[in-house]
Amino acid sequence: MQRVEGKSIFGGIAIGKIKFYSREDRQVVRRHVKNVNDEVERLYRAKEEALCQLQKLHEKAVREVGDGPAEIFQVHQKVLNDRDYLGSIIHIIETETINAEYAVACTSDNFSQMFEAMDDEYMRARAADLKDVSNRMIDILYGNPGLEIESDEPVIIVAEELVPSETVQLDQKKVLSFVTRKGSANSHTAILARTMGIPALTDITVSRQWDKNTAIVDGYEGCIYINPDEDTFLKYKEKKNNEIEKRKMLEQLRGKPAVTIDGKEIMLYANIGGVKDVMNALQNDAEGIGLFRSEFLYLERSDYPTEEEQFNVYKTVARNMAGKRVIIRTLDIGADKQADYFGLEHEENPAMGYRAIRICLDRTDLFKTQLRAIYRASAFGKIAVMFPMIISVDEVRRIKIIIEEVKVELKNDMVMYGDVEIGIMIETPAAVMISDLLAKEVDFFSIGTNDLTQYTLAIDRQNSRLDCFYDSHHEAVMRMIKMVADNGHKEGCFVGICGELAADTTLTETFLRMGIDELSVSPSMLLNVKSQIRKVDLSKSCEISN
């Protein structure tokens, strides 16, 4: 038995066979061919198969994540149809009489090097697209299916790293767990794991020799057991059975209100990253969407999403939520969330740099495009908007001026929009300390505990070396949350928490006694938190402890 420790992204127990995935499995061999015409014909057949795959992936991505993120697959189709790209491959096949796989690899290397050397962020970003497309072509030519799960039973996916273009094509019913060496709590894979409610680990030193071996993933302790011995297997089998029984008990809470024993109703909302997450939110009894991470419309694509693309996504979510509140957080790009086409310069400390609302207030055309889409969608449901990384009253007033300009533009264009509540993220100590002033400007607060904790404790939450110093229950953080709740309520604002702490059931009663009105968590955690809410009796005096 081998036990390997890492970092937990989402808790839970998974027991099953490992499916090891590596992009490095592509070993392209140069081979002489006798008939170049046959080889060119083989290339064209591979191209058509690749186009077919990309079209299916695009349709699947549109259904699950919306038009914006799905556009990457249309970009890849354009690369495949590019005359220069295809012409270079054919030229190498014909002049060097070599196999198509090697010609594709050569062209990919040559074009990628040219793009990466250009003094243009957009063109440098094309290098990644070209490599992705070329790898797909090589897989098809070699008969390699890529990341497909052929097992009849669900498996544990183990990889160095998983990117969105890989996870989006997975049959989620066949995935027990994600285990990777690279990744973060904010990666697409991590968010997918939380949405699916399956254990996930990162910072694991993975090995391809694990493939097809039996393993146990412990998402609570942050470790994986390879070929567990009988005692370990039986112990975790019992833990897994207990998990299943607990889930059955939680299922009985569907349709019941998130209300304390003494009758205090709590708004229990879901965090989502796109259209695909709405069904999970509704199935788990979400009373609304407390955090729509709109940045996922911008990530993993080659250019800015248009107003129409954003509008269609926001409208779809609003309609599906059928009158329940949907809180859309405006663009939160920067720090650990990067998109090459934004052309953001390298920063020594990006977490405190040019990000989120700072980009929006600097690039007002970009900001207005998103706001127009949000306000247009508000005609189809109950939409609210909130702004991240606020540190001053002046920022909020500048935002409100831009909102008024957008509303005037829509009126002039005779475009309908609804009554949109305005809120802000409280995730900086500055916002906490002036929350009494900020509350006079907005309708609600949503506390982003992830960033608030890292800024308060001066600890980079992406730096695993600092995990032993990171304390999300720190007294300073708790006092800040209480201060925000008090100041918000004095001005009639409702106050919520949408960070990871909202799902920490050891703090649920503490938050309710502080006066928190709304908790927004991953869909898979909704019933857990509801169960905890229904056990609290606020009429009984209780000393708040951390």
pLDDT under 70: residue ranges of the chain: 23-26, 61, 63-70, 118-126, 128, 144-151, 163-169, 184-189, 191-192, 300-302, 334-341, 345, 347-348, 461-464, 542-546
Domain boundaries, the chain: 2-18+155-247, 27-142, 263-341+353-533
**What's the pLDDT at 120?**
58
Q: In the CATH hierarchy, which top-level class contains the domain 2-18+155-247?
A: alpha beta
Q: Tokens representing 224?
A: 């994986």
**What's the pLDDT at 545?**
46
- What is the model's pTM? 0.67
**What's the pLDDT at 193?**
78
**What's the pLDDT at 361?**
92
Catalytic residues: 188, 498
Closest CA to 312 of 275, 270, 264, 268: 275
- Amino acid type, 189: T
Domain 27-142, classified CATH 1.10.274.10, yes or no: yes
Q: Tokens representing 357?
A: 């609302």
Residue 535 is classified by DSSP as T
**DSSP-assigned states of every residue in 473-528:** T-HHHHHHHHHHHHHHHHTT-EEEE-SGGGG-TTSHHHHHHHT--EEEE-GGGHHH
Provide CB contacts within 8 A for 489, sequence distance 6+: 495, 515
Task: Tell me which architecture the domain covering 263-341+353-533 has in CATH.
Answer: Alpha-Beta Barrel (3.20)
Residue 142: how many other CB atoms lie within 10 Å: 15
**What's the pLDDT at 63?**
67
CA geometry: angle at 294 spanning 290 and 298, to 5°?
A: 165
Residue 28: how many other CB atoms lie within 10 Å: 18
